[in-house]
Structure 1
Amino acid sequence: MQLQGKVAFITGAASGIGKQIAAVFAAEGANVVIADLDFKAAQQTAQVLSASRGQTLAVEVDVTDEAQVNAGVELAAKTFGGIDILVSNAGIQIIQPVQELSYADWKKMLAIHLDGAFLTTKACLKHMYAQGRGGSIIYMGSVHSKEASKLKAPYVTAKHGLLGLAKTVAKEAGPAGIHANVICPGFVRTPLVDRQIPEQAKELGISEEQVISDVMLKDTVDGEFTSLEDVARVALLFAAFPSNALTGQSLTVSHGWSME
């Protein structure tokens, strides 16, 4: 198993992409911390994984609350003896054109995606440095880390920002054997994406079927959504990679939606 004995702290892990990453990491031998704002759902996910795949811990964490982040990370480190992997995955989406977007929603989006990434990184780095055994920090970016779409200004801005944070952390933490990388998925059929379909249909004046075929999947090579498993496997690659050769990078997993 590629992550035997490692401790992974995963935000937004009670559902969707984070939950699938938690399942894959647990299957590979990691002790997994299910960190989520929805504590009940986090507990349920932890129970399911611990029943079949090993040790888990549920923690209630609002990633924009520094005290909650620090307390959650400290509890995880105390429970399992450290932190080896951070997956900064918590996120939301708000669909609005720039001229109609409230400043409050702009700040909310950047706080969850960027402030949350910063706060969890800072808290986990403390333990990774002290342990002296390296580590892996994985940010959940998006194709929108490199591209743009209408109606998603704060999301696009935040996801672009994660590239800069990852590169900086990679430079600073590399001498300690800590890697930082970004996963950039295309559209994945999670509740987050499912909620966007009617919202975009309304804003763009098209049908929901057209949102899927002409907006979300138009530029893929096969008309397919990226799967949860696709993203989780890339997370495993980053988490298990043994050297500084793979750090400060971003990997797009999008069925060709975006190519470099």
Structure 2
Amino acid sequence: MTMSMKDKICIVTGAASGIGKAIATRYVADGAKVAIADLDLEKANETARELTEKGPGEAMGVKMDVTSEEQVNAGTDAVVKAWGGVDVLVANAGIQIVHKVEDFPFDEWKKLLSIHLDGAFLTTKAAIPHMKKRGGGAVIYMGSVHSKEASALKAPYVTAKHGLLGLARVVSKEGGEYGVRANVICPGFVKTPLVEKQIPEQAKDLGISEEEVVNKIMLGDTVDQEFTTVEDVAELAWVFAAFPTNALTGQSVVVSHGWYMN
């Protein structure tokens, strides 16, 4: 079995920075063509230039608000026009907002669910017809240990990440005969700006020190008190994208230094 990303056409959402950028970097390094789909077009273009210079693959920037069906469809169409199709979708765009359930503003609940779930749905809906035309493809959702577990203060995030498991399983069932696979990556705490931002917020909400948030809340259940890296996550995203058969579909894999084991 040969696993390669050479010439695969990929869309990665939220790819101008963080985990999304690491995944795009890994794909381009293996010869893929990657659309850096992001709210911030300037940053997306900058990332695309940087990755294309490194090669051997190439990248392009695409403006995409994943909660807008119009923008998702337009962005997908731009990729198809440029490169001829879609082989891989990584629905990675996400945000984090923390409050206790009784204090959670409904607008913020809806905003978070929309970015994580509506975004995954809309990008999948746009990509699947193009994957079918090419005889198959890989849909990859960015879940979380919170697809399996719960933490205080994260009601919509935990709800959304659980929901992605269900969506992946349905896409797997519907896509099987067309060679369209769907899987979920479930990272533990990854040291990204999203997580850095949570440390003081959680310290304030829980009335503990920032050090205690890191060592007890975030890394307390890992085997080695280590954060997962963006490169760890990108490597798994490469496996899901490069794996050539339906043998690996409808699955979720946790990368969390043993925080969650199943």
Give the counterpart letter for 2:201 in structure 1: E
Deviation at 1:56, TM superposition (A): 1.1
Which of 9, 12, 18 matches 1:10? 12
Unaligned runs of 5+ in 1: none
Q: What are the superposed Cα offsets for residues 183-209 of structure 1, whole Å, 9 maximum, x if unpaired? A: 000000000000000000000000000
1:94 is matched with which residue? Answer: 97
**CA separation in 1, counterparts of 2:28 and 2:54?**
9
Which of 223, 226, 235 matches 1:224? 226
User: Does 2:87 align with 1:84?
Assistant: yes
Deviation at 1:121, TM superposition (A): 0.1
Normalising by structure 2, what TM-score? 0.98
**Residue pairs, 1:57-76, within 5 angstroms:** 57-76=60-79
**CA separation in 1, counterparts of 2:109 and 2:139?**
25
Give the counterpart letter for 1:121 in structure 2: T
1:167 is matched with which residue? Answer: 169
**Residue pairs, 1:7-156, within 5 angstroms:** 7-53=9-55, 54-131=57-134, 133-156=135-158
**In the alignment, is the contact (CA less than 8 A) between 2:36 and 2:60 conserved in 1?**
yes
Deviation at 1:2, TM superposition (A): 1.2
**CA separation in 2, counterparts of 1:220 and 1:70?**
40
**In the alignment, is the contact (CA less than 8 A) between 2:132 and 2:179 conserved in 1?**
no
Q: Tell me, what secondary structure is at the counterpart of 1:163?
A: helix
1:205 is matched with which residue? Answer: 207
Q: Tell me, what secondary structure is at the counterpart of 1:206?
A: coil
**CA separation in 2, counterparts of 1:103 and 1:94?**
12
Give the counterpart letter for 2:109 in structure 1: W
**CA separation in 2, counterparts of 1:30 and 1:50?**
10
Q: What are the superposed Cα offsets for residues 152-191 of structure 1, whole Å, 9 maximum, x if unpaired? A: 0000000000000000000000110111000000000000
**CA separation in 1, counterparts of 2:41 and 2:156?**
26
- Superposition misfits of 4+ residues, deviation over 4 angstroms: none
2:160 is matched with which residue? Answer: 158
Deviation at 1:130, TM superposition (A): 2.2
Deviation at 1:126, TM superposition (A): 1.5
Q: Tell me, what secondary structure is at the counterpart of 1:47?
A: helix
Q: Tell me, what secondary structure is at the counterpart of 1:26?
A: helix
Q: What are the superposed Cα offsets for residues 36-90 of structure 1, whole Å, 9 maximum, x if unpaired? A: 0011111110010011113211001000000000000000011011000000000
Q: Tell me, what secondary structure is at the counterpart of 1:19?
A: helix
**CA separation in 2, counterparts of 1:102 and 1:155?**
14
**CA separation in 1, counterparts of 2:234 and 2:131?**
22
How many residues in Structure 1 have an aligned counterpart in Structure 2?
Answer: 259
User: Does 2:241 align with 1:239?
Assistant: yes
Which of 231, 251, 255 matches 2:253? 251
